Amino acid sequence: MDNQIYSKDELYSMEKQRIFPGTASEAAFLLGGIGTGNVSIGARGELRDWEIFNTPGKGVSLHYSFFSLWAKEEGKEPVCKVLESKLHPPFSKSHGFHSGAVSGLPRFETSALRGEYPIAWVDLKDDSMPVEVTLETFTPMIPLNPDDSGIPCAIFNYRVKNKTDRKIDVSIAGSLLNGSGFSGYDQFENLKQESFKGSKNEFRNDDGFSGLYMYSTSLPENDLKSGNMSLVTTSKQVTYKATWNNEGWWDGIHDMWDDFSSDGKFDAQTSTCAIKDAGQKVGSLGVYETLNPGEEKDFQFILTWYFPNRINGWEQTCCSSGCNCDITQNYYANLFMSSWDAAHYILKNYNRLSKDTYKFHHALFDSSLPHYVIDAAASNMDILRSTTCFRLKNGKFFGYEGCFNKAGCCEGNCTHVWNYEQTLAFLYPTLERDMRVTEFNVETEENGKMEFRTKKLFGSSNNYHPAADGQLGCIIRLYRDWKLSGSNEFLSSVWDNAKKALNYAFTYWDSDGDFVLDSQQHNTYDIEFYGPNSLINSMFYGALKAAAEMAEAMHDSESAEKYRNAHSKGSEKMDKMLWNGEYYSQVIDDVNKYKYQYGEGCLSDQLFGQMTSHLAGLGYILPEEHVKKAVHSIFKYNFFTEFSSHINVQRTYILNDEKGLVLCSWPNGGRPKLPFVYSDEVWTGIEYQVAAHLIFEGFIDEGLTVIKAVRDRHDGIKRNPWNEVECGHHYVRAMASWASIIALSGYKCDLVNGIIEFNPAINKENFSCFFSCGEAWGVFKQKLDKDTGKLVYRVDVLYGKLDGIVVKANGENVNM
């Protein structure tokens, strides 16, 4: 193997997931559902990045929103600390840490965060404390069930253990700012107070739970800032201060801390004496217990939010006050009337929601795939539940490419970016199919031109040339989704337009009718390729092969024949034109005639259409021998083991001694004066698609090396393990990471014909892996029976049904 940087042991050993110390200041684990926004838990156990207000909010804090613990060991003075570990440098803010960050309060000595999305654990330790605390936190996530994966909530279970040999009285308090009307901060980092006028906190009792309900009495119902939040518990031993004193300065936190730290209980009286209607409203909810020596008890809090109003479009904030922006609601407003209602739903269904979430977690994390492969696939699932994606009241699902710190970017279910992701397709196929419906039935014009960013749906018009990779990729993805669902009804609902979109390529991108696309080809590098190249053409041949089969299913033999013919002739010709003995290059007379080409370069994406074809179960669309060699050449030439001497004047995603796969290299020279604009960059999404392809072609060490390199770069110090960035946070392309699970398990799904297949590529004698299709998900296992020398198979369906589906493993039928 070239570029060997990891030992076999490092690549294949079955280690546990990484643990991040409190110093891993970049680590931030998202809590929140599909289309609900998020709050994150950091490596110190802190709540950070409040993104519950329908906009991204990296770096947005919610003042005075934190958990704290009071403990009194029998016969000793009480102790009281914030349930976070200490802050780490830098400490250089223009005005110090604001009071709202409560940075000056005592904290636990150390913390350790383990995040196995969708569940995270934070251990808090402190020799001076009589207790140890572990927080377990999650938001329900159940594949195939987008509604129950889309609850605007975060569940916090603090498990407290008495370390001493005496009784300890313990209270945990959650404090929370009423965010209804939240308008950010002024330059002093004080909360802008205006829209808090009329905001109210109240303590409520309900069926089996109680807590704080925080809302506004003054904001119009359709105001974008209107909404409510709840912090509840099922505990019966509750203490609370519904509204802190807010008369002036930092009176509220002074009063709250003095009150709570004295006896672990809140005196409701003190808080009511000086509450200004116009000011911010913070409230605290506490739960108290007595722990015997060595005893452990859970303190559970459920945070829910409800900010239902959202602009009906890609904008996230009104262009101006008093504008006529079309306001719609989040999908979750169909499910719940308020945050309190959401809390009610969660608690009524708690066992099911948590059990199914844990089942999913175990199915994924107990697999026999290398830990970093699971980590790559699982951690990037959070993109679906980040502010990159949203879901409107009409049920439709949308996604930016990624997010700025405070806004989505770029708009439009962008076809050439969403081309790479597999996670939604395999976990929430109904939402994925909705994207096909949008693309084909809304955004595709009569002549077959597809707007590559969803615009018509929101009343805008098509106004840019089409993206060849995105448009053709949609055909392959349609095939994948048809096979995953087995639904001919779905296929026929979009088929006419899909055909138009494919046929458009014959005239628009093929200048000479030779089935090798060659004219101006806009693509995912945000520039135009000219002349034949294998990125666009591999997408074309994958689309043709897929469309031929779909046409047959739609009883359209004429089209099927046309597509088979075009695939056969075109791919043969392309292979001849572009194959240079090691990989496929771009054919163009003068590589500098147009800016931003790659010519003789070795493009990492050169066989992207082949990868997606493998993944969809289409098999080879180009000569296997060349495909194998080309994919290996990509690894050989483009995987760099250090970047200190790499010359890149474009955007920088990798530096110093890091390892990764560049988008393009020129091993034989011929680099254009101005190559395509991202050519020297490193994108995790492309690394993952190449890694999966390497595995599909049998280069397993190489594929795993690429994946491990990506995850090593996301170590919590350099980058957030739960946020792979490209043109934005939580970038959609990174969901190509799911493809490695498919490739390593050799999973094929054809519900149209009622067959699913497994063909594990590693750990064949003791293999276990999560699988999913449109009807069910579960775990596939294969184990060598040492007595018989034969493999024994087992399929555990953990959700849904596989009735009537034939399961095969390594070519054999599996007894269900």
Tokens at 722, concatenated: 């739960």
Is 581 among the residues that bind a second copy (CB under 8 A)?
no
- DSSP-derived 3-state class of residue 170: strand
User: Segment 633-662, which members bind a second copy (CB under 8 A)?
Assistant: 643-653, 655-656
Other C-beta atoms closer than 10 Å to the C-beta of 129 total: 21
CB of 99 to a second copy, least distance (A): 6
Strands 282-291 and 168-177: antiparallel
Query: Exposed, middle or buried: residue 785 (CB in 10 Å: 0-12, 13-18, 19+)?
Result: exposed
Nearer to a second copy, 33 or 56 (CB): 56
Is 83 among the residues that bind a second copy (CB under 8 A)?
no
Tokens at 430, concatenated: 């109904």
Is 323 among the residues that bind a second copy (CB under 8 A)?
no
The answer to whether 372 and 181 are in contact (CB under 8 A) is no
Q: Which of 76, 93, 348, 355 binds a second copy (CB under 8 A)?
A: 93
Q: Which of 5, 12, 99, 552 binds a second copy (CB under 8 A)?
A: 99
Whole-Å CA distances, 569 to 76, 154, 351, 599? 85, 55, 57, 23
Backbone angles phi, psi at 612, to 5 degrees: -65, -30
Binding mask 172-191 for a second copy (x = CB under 8 A): ---------------xx---
- The single-letter DSSP state of residue 15 is P
Is 248 among the residues that bind a second copy (CB under 8 A)?
yes
CB of 527 to a second copy, least distance (A): 8
Q: Which of 192, 254, 348, 352 binds a second copy (CB under 8 A)?
A: 254
Is 121 among the residues that bind a second copy (CB under 8 A)?
no
Is 451 among the residues that bind a second copy (CB under 8 A)?
no
Binding mask 10-29 for a second copy (x = CB under 8 A): ---------------xx---
Nearer to a second copy, 237 or 650 (CB): 650
- Based on C-alpha coordinates, what's the Rg of the chain? 28
- DSSP-derived 3-state class of residue 257: helix
What is the end-to-end Cα distance of the chain in Å, rounded?
39
Is 269 among the residues that bind a second copy (CB under 8 A)?
no
Is 665 among the residues that bind a second copy (CB under 8 A)?
no
Whole-Å CA distances, 646 to 179, 347, 555? 46, 54, 53
- The single-letter DSSP state of residue 456 is G
Is 405 among the residues that bind a second copy (CB under 8 A)?
yes
Q: Which of 723, 737, 763, 772 binds a second copy (CB under 8 A)?
A: 723
Tokens at 58, concatenated: 């990296």
C-alpha to C-alpha distance for 655 and 364, rounded to whole angstroms: 31
Nearer to a second copy, 189 or 549 (CB): 189
The residue range among 1-9, 100-108, 201-209, 614-622 that interacts with a second copy, by the rule CB under 8 A, is 100-108
The closest alpha carbon to 450, from 495, 504, 396, 523, belongs to 504
CB of 261 to a second copy, least distance (A): 8
Is 91 among the residues that bind a second copy (CB under 8 A)?
yes
Is 76 among the residues that bind a second copy (CB under 8 A)?
no
Q: Which of 2, 15, 258, 296 binds a second copy (CB under 8 A)?
A: 258
CB of 685 to a second copy, least distance (A): 13
Other C-beta atoms closer than 10 Å to the C-beta of 217 total: 10
The answer to whether 542 and 478 are in contact (CB under 8 A) is no
The closest alpha carbon to 43, from 132, 107, 94, belongs to 107
Nearer to a second copy, 219 or 403 (CB): 403
Is 348 among the residues that bind a second copy (CB under 8 A)?
no
Nearer to a second copy, 645 or 815 (CB): 645
Nearer to a second copy, 203 or 404 (CB): 404
User: Segment 740-799, which members bind a second copy (CB under 8 A)?
Assistant: none
CB of 81 to a second copy, least distance (A): 9
C-alpha to C-alpha distance for 251 and 270, rounded to whole angstroms: 11
Is 325 among the residues that bind a second copy (CB under 8 A)?
no
Amino acid, res. 673? K
Nearer to a second copy, 613 or 665 (CB): 665
Residues in the chain: 816
Is 275 among the residues that bind a second copy (CB under 8 A)?
no
Q: Which of 63, 98, 522, 636 binds a second copy (CB under 8 A)?
A: 98
- The single-letter DSSP state of residue 195 is G
C-alpha to C-alpha distance for 651 and 661, rounded to whole angstroms: 14
The answer to whether 476 and 766 are in contact (CB under 8 A) is no
C-alpha to C-alpha distance for 27 and 660, rounded to whole angstroms: 21
Nearer to a second copy, 337 or 674 (CB): 674
Tokens at 537, concatenated: 């053409």
How many residues at the interface with a second copy, by CB under 8 A? Answer: 72
Nearer to a second copy, 438 or 737 (CB): 737
C-alpha to C-alpha distance for 198 and 377, rounded to whole angstroms: 45
Is 90 among the residues that bind a second copy (CB under 8 A)?
yes
The residue range among 103-111, 200-208, 411-419, 426-434 that interacts with a second copy, by the rule CB under 8 A, is 103-111
Is 253 among the residues that bind a second copy (CB under 8 A)?
yes
Tokens at 774, concatenated: 């449109």
CB of 449 to a second copy, least distance (A): 25
CB of 673 to a second copy, least distance (A): 7
Amino acid, res. 504? Y
The closest alpha carbon to 493, from 425, 439, 451, belongs to 439
Q: Which of 297, 567, 629, 719 binds a second copy (CB under 8 A)?
A: 719
User: Segment 526-555, which members bind a second copy (CB under 8 A)?
Assistant: 527
Is 698 among the residues that bind a second copy (CB under 8 A)?
no
The answer to whether 689 and 611 are in contact (CB under 8 A) is yes
Q: Which of 22, 399, 402, 448 binds a second copy (CB under 8 A)?
A: 402
Nearer to a second copy, 334 or 405 (CB): 405
Tokens at 28, concatenated: 């931030």
The answer to whether 686 and 724 are in contact (CB under 8 A) is no
Nearer to a second copy, 733 or 781 (CB): 733
The crossing angle, in degrees rounded to 10, of helices 468-485 and 608-616 is 10
User: Segment 594-623, which members bind a second copy (CB under 8 A)?
Assistant: 595-596
The residue range among 144-152, 275-283, 343-351, 403-411 that interacts with a second copy, by the rule CB under 8 A, is 403-411
Nearer to a second copy, 576 or 673 (CB): 673
Q: Which of 12, 185, 203, 404 binds a second copy (CB under 8 A)?
A: 404
CB of 258 to a second copy, least distance (A): 7
The answer to whether 120 and 139 are in contact (CB under 8 A) is no
Is 284 among the residues that bind a second copy (CB under 8 A)?
no
The answer to whether 750 and 484 are in contact (CB under 8 A) is no
CB of 142 to a second copy, least distance (A): 30
User: Segment 668-687, which members bind a second copy (CB under 8 A)?
Assistant: 673-674, 677, 680-681
C-alpha to C-alpha distance for 672 and 637, rounded to whole angstroms: 17
C-alpha to C-alpha distance for 579 and 628, rounded to whole angstroms: 12
Is 409 among the residues that bind a second copy (CB under 8 A)?
yes
Is 514 among the residues that bind a second copy (CB under 8 A)?
no
